[in-house]
Amino acid sequence: MRMDKATRLFIILGGFFIANTLLAEFVGTKIFSLEKTFGFAPRDWTLFGVSGLGFNLTAGVMLWPVVFVMTDIINEYYGKRGVKLLSFLAIGLVTYSFAMIYLSMSLSPNDWWQFESGKIRDVNDMGIAYNAIFGQGLWIIIGSMVAFLVGQILDVSVFHKLKEMTGESKIWLRATGSTLVSQFVDSFVVLIIAFYIGSDWDLTRVLAVGLMNYLYKFFVAVLLTPVIYLAHNWIDKFLGHDVATKMKTEAAKS
C-alpha cells in the first residue's frame, strides 16, 4: 500500500508519541535523585514550610518533555484534531496496558521463577518484586492520565493562540511557551489527584513538591527548544516546502 509523505510522517510521529507516553507511565514507578545521578549531594531546601525538598523525581520526567515536544510538532502540521486523536488513543492504550498488567499480577507465579531465578539478582521473592514495581496505586494512575489529558488540551490551545498572535514566526515562543504552561498545570494536577485526594498529603506539600518538579520541567523545556527547530527543518525538507506550508496553514485553521 502506497502512502503519501504526510501520512507516513503522521504514523512515525504518532508511533513515537504513543511509545513515549506508554514508557513514561511504566518507568514512572521509579523515583530517582537528580542530584545524585549527576554526582552531587542531594539538596535540602525548605519551601512553604516543607523541608527536605530536592530534585527527587519520577523516571517518567525523562520522557514527558519529549511527549510535549512531539505534541507541538504534531500540532504544527496536523492541527488540534491530530493531537486529540493521538492523545485519546494513547490514553486508551495506557488503560489497556495497565489492565493487562494488573491481570498478569493476579496470575499464580511458578515456584522456580518466584524463589530461585531471583537469587541471581539478590531478590528473595520475584512475585513480590514484580507486583511492587508494576502495582502502582489506582489514584496515581488516574492522576497521571487526567494530568496528561488536561496538559495536552491546554498545550494545543495555548499553542494555537500564540500562533494566531505571531503568525509563522517565533516557533520557539508557541512551542516552548505552550509546553511551559501545560507542564505547569500537569505538575500540580497529578499530585493533587494522586496524593492530595488519593493519599494523606496536605495542600502545602503538594504545592512545594509540584513547584520543585516544575523547576526541572521548565529547564528541560527550554533546553529542548533547539530540537524543535531541528525537527521543523527536517520535516520541511522531508515533505517539501509547498506541502509543508499547505499542511501548516490547514492545521492552523482546523
**pLDDT of residue 28 exceeding 70:** yes
Res 89: pLDDT? 95
What residues contact residue 143 under an 8 Å CB cut-off, 6+ apart? 189, 190, 191, 192, 193, 194, 195, 197, 198
Res 172: pLDDT? 82
Region 211-218 average pLDDT: 89
Has this prediction a pTM greater than 0.75? yes
**pLDDT of residue 156 exceeding 80:** yes
Res 14: pLDDT? 94
Task: Give the pLDDT confidence of 85-96 residue by residue, as tens digits.
Answer: 999 999 999 999
The C-alpha atoms of residue 2 and residue 118 are separated, in whole angstroms, by 48
Region 141-161 average pLDDT: 89
Backbone angles phi, psi at 4, to 5 degrees: -75, 170
Q: Which pLDDT band, with edges at 50, 70 and 90, does 2 fall under? A: low
**pLDDT of residue 254 exceeding 80:** no
Q: Yes or no: say if 204 and 48 are a contact pair by the CB < 8 Å rule.
A: yes
Task: State the first-to-last Cα distance of the chain, in angstroms, to the nearest integer.
Answer: 27
- In the chain, where the domains are located: 5-241
Q: Which pLDDT band, with edges at 50, 70 and 90, does 1 fall under? A: low
